[in-house]
Amino acid sequence: MTQGYDPAEVPLYEGREAVEEGYAAAQRERVPFFAVEAYEEGYAVTYDLLPTGHQLAPAAHQEVTERLTDEVEAIVGDDSLPTAEVGRSLSPSLGNLSLFEREESARRVAAAVSDVVLDRANWVEADPPDSTPSDRLN
């Protein structure tokens, strides 16, 4: 089992260029992209397992969804932690939550799911994007 990040240890990429460099490195090294992205508008939490050729197994994807929901609800319910409306897009291979007003909030949410997302035991082989059952027959 992979140990996740503490909030202060989650990688932070500031600006589009840094994010693109992080993605390029993940592609080259065939490792997941997992980070907090900082923009003028706020902070986003992103994971992408596609560079590894894998995606989250259904149970792990469900756990990530539940953890993210719980963590965002805790932040929204805490008046000392401001947040704009948080949008999310979560698939087994790619997840994005944005925008958080504070880096601290984004790091907290990222850390809450990092151990599940980064644990290879929770991965299954990714389906090719354009696959159909007939494509898989040899």
For 87-105, how does the pLDDT look when each residue is reduced to its tens digit (9 = 90+)?
Answer: 788 999 999 998 898 999 9
The residues facing 42 across adjacent strands are 39
pLDDT at 83 over 70: no
Distance CA 138, CA 136 (A): 6
pTM given for the model: 0.84
Question: pLDDT at position 76, please?
Answer: 74
What is the tens place of the pLDDT at every residue in 35-44?
999 999 999 9
At 132, which helix (H) or strand (E)?
A: none
Domain boundaries, the chain: 7-129
Q: What is the mean pLDDT of residues 107-123?
A: 96
pLDDT at 135 over 60: no
